[in-house]
Amino acid sequence: NQPLGKVCLQSLWRLFNNLDTASPLRYHVYYHLVQVAKQCEQVLEVFTGVDQLKTQFANCPPSSEQMQKLYRLLHDVTKDTNMELSSKVMIELLGTYTADNACVAREDAMKCIVTALADPNTFLLDPLLALKPVRFLEGDLIHDLLSIFVSDKLPSYVQFYEDHKEFVNSQGLNHEQNMKKIRLLTFMQLAESNPEMTFDTLTKELQITEDEVEPFVIHVLKTKLVRARLDQANRKVHISST
């Protein structure tokens, strides 16, 4: 139950902090600490980010296998409540693989891609393509989908979804959320080469109505990925920077 769980969590947290920072036991205590924190819905009390995690184990780094196990657990306990953090954990997990063992990380690589695509706050996706385990997925549908979000535009995703609807749904990805994300990424691509865009251009490229242009641009501006100004009188969007 929750009260007992919180007592266990506090006890494990004290034990972890009182152990010598060079003790290999800290890893095992922390692993179980995360498990208990999940049950108590207190994960962010013991894990706030990858940098914090590395600092905690700086004097006695766990093995690659141990860190992979821990990263998988951290992904599992954060994926439903903090997708952005969960995505960062998966990217860190893939970074633990080398060219020699990247081929065995297929499942981890697929989870990493799906988590990044599903996260509404993750827009910088091209670094994933450089990760060795992701490279081993070249030719697979999940890699094709990632490539669309990295370098293609909305029509390519729409076509992909029409051709592979069952695959997209089987990965737990939401088509409407995908559409929102690819529209934003398409806008970003257009903004890089067009300092000025008409509402007509945006309705065509983003497949939205003219009434949806203003709310869409306002949403984009809130992400702070681009600086722009709406010109309602002339039905244009002026891009300042991307």
In SS3 terms, 84-139 reads as HHHHHHHHHHHCCCCCCCHHHCHHHHHHHHHHHHHCCCCCCCHHHHCCHHHHCCCC
Q: Calculate what percentage of the chain has a pLDDT beyond 90.
A: 90
Place of tokens 């939205």: 208
pLDDT per position as a tens digit, 77-112: 999 899 899 999 999 999 999 888 888 899 999 999
pLDDT per position as a tens digit, 182-224: 999 999 999 999 999 999 999 999 999 999 999 999 999 999 9
When pLDDT is cut at 50, 70 and 90, the band that residue 75 belongs to is very high
pLDDT per position as a tens digit, 19-32: 999 999 999 999 99
| pLDDT(59) > 80 | yes
Cβ atoms of residues 187 and 194 within 8 Å = no
The side-by-side arrangement of strands in the sheet containing 227-231 is 196-198, 236-241, 227-231
CATH topology of domain 183-241: Arc Repressor Mutant, subunit A (1.10.10)
Q: Which two tokens stand for residue 2?
A: 């929750």
pLDDT per position as a tens digit, 137-167: 999 999 999 999 999 999 999 999 999 999 9
Q: Which two tokens stand for residue 148?
A: 């669309």
| pLDDT(3) > 90 | no
Determine the average pLDDT of the residues in 114-130: 93
Q: Which two tokens stand for residue 135?
A: 């490279």
> Where are the chain's structural domains?
1-62, 183-241
| pLDDT(2) > 80 | no
CA–CA gap between residue 212 and residue 119 (Å, rounded): 23
Which spans in the chain are helix H?
2-18, 25-39, 43-46, 50-56, 64-78, 83-94, 106-118, 126-129, 132-135, 141-151, 154-163, 165-170, 175-193, 199-206, 210-223
| pLDDT(1) > 80 | no
| pLDDT(64) > 90 | yes
Mean pLDDT of the chain: 94
Cβ atoms of residues 16 and 26 within 8 Å = yes
End-to-end CA distance of the chain: 49
Predicted confidence at residue 102, as pLDDT, reads 86
